[in-house]
Amino acid sequence: MSKLTEMEEKRDNELLKRKEKEVAEFQEMRKFLQDLKEELHPLQKTQTELLEMKSIIQEVKISLESIQSRLDHSENRISDVEEKMAGLEKSTTKTEKMAQKFENDMREVLDTIKRPNIRIIGIPEGEETHKGIDNLFHEILQENFPNLERHSKIQSQEIQRTPNRINPRRSSPRPILTRLTKTADKDKILRLAREKHQVTYKGHPIRLTADLSSETMRARREWENIFKVLREKQFQPRILYPARLSFRWEEKTRTFSDKQNLKEFTSTRPDLQEVLKGVLYQEN
């Protein structure tokens, strides 16, 4: 009987130990799960944040696609505008060329009409009332070119002061405009005047010039200061029709249509550049 009791106690002890072991394992497992849950909590939070970030990225992507679409549309519109601007510039350039051609043609017409004319500059007002304006012109020819009318019959169609009315604000006398019957006579008189260098009336200096359109005269005045310097340096300058500058340099006659053309020529000729530096380059 005693032995049986010992066996039951032993069995109960083993069952108790096993039960305690199972409880301990359960507690350990429970703790493990709790720790795991705590470790997973930040991951769950991070996952939520990632999902939110993904949503934001998706929204940004949609916005960027919309912006890109608008940019593409804008680029297309800009391209269309640029094409229209290019066409407009081409049309404007063509119009400017046509306007320039028209202006040149009109200048040619006016200069052709004026070609037989000579302007006499420097005759005091009232001189013509005493001896007649026709006699005044021939007196100037006789004083300066005595042999001219002996060999050529110089005839004028019309001689008058221009403008018709005196400007009280203008101190210098009005020019006398003389229209000759022959253009060749005008050319001959002006050539003789250049050769004589100084034309006079009663011993006082006057000038004989061609009668040109205002456009041509304005273009010629662009050379005025340069012309004076070249004449002082005895480079034999001349203004050729319509407004080209000609002078002697290095034993050759050089001709220039505009100042830029002259600047390019002087850029490789330091001596000439030095002569013209005060008048050619001051307007840069």
Could you tell me which residues are beta bridge partners of residue 254? 247
57-66, 151-160, 176-185: range with lowest mean pLDDT? 57-66
Distance CA 235, CA 231 (A): 6
Q: Under CATH, which architecture does the 222-284 domain have?
A: 2-Layer Sandwich (3.30)
Q: Which long-range contacts (CB under 8 A, 24 or more apart) does 268-273 make?
A: none
Q: What is the pLDDT of residue 271?
A: 92
Domain boundaries defined on the chain: 71-113, 115-212, 222-284
Q: What is the pLDDT of residues 64-104, one digit of tens each?
A: 788 888 887 777 888 877 788 888 888 888 888 888 788 87
Q: Is 13 helix (H, G, I), strand (E, B) or coil?
A: helix
Residue 26 makes CB contacts below 8 A (sequence gap 6+) with none
DSSP state letters, 18-59: HHHHHHHHHHHHHHHHHHHHHHHHHHHHHHHHHHHHHHHHHH
Residue 214 CA: distances (Å) to CA of 101, 122, 142 = 16, 19, 30
Phi, psi (deg, nearest 5) at residue 18: -65, -40
SS3 230: helix
pLDDT tens digits, one per residue of 166-208: 888 888 899 999 999 999 999 999 999 989 989 999 999 999 9
Copy the structure tokens of residue 160: 């008058």
Asked if residue 267 has pLDDT above 50, the reply is yes
Average pLDDT over residues 98-127: 87
Residue 283: pLDDT band with limits 50, 70, 90: low
**pLDDT over 70 at 266, yes or no:** yes
Residue 35: count other Cβ atoms within 10 Å of its Cβ: 10
49's CB contacts (< 8 A; 6+ apart) are none
Residue 212 DSSP label: -
Q: For residue range 28-48, list pLDDT tens digits in order.
A: 777 776 776 676 666 666 667
Mean local confidence (pLDDT), 130-139: 88
Residue 180 has which token pair? 């000759």
Q: What is the CATH number of domain 115-212?
A: 3.30.70.1820
Higher local confidence (pLDDT), 149 or 171: 171
- Asked whether the domain spanning 222-284 has the same topology as the one spanning 115-212, the reply is no
What's the token pair of residue 8? 């039951």
Residues above pLDDT 70, as percent of the chain: 90
Structure tokens belonging to residue 174: 């009005």
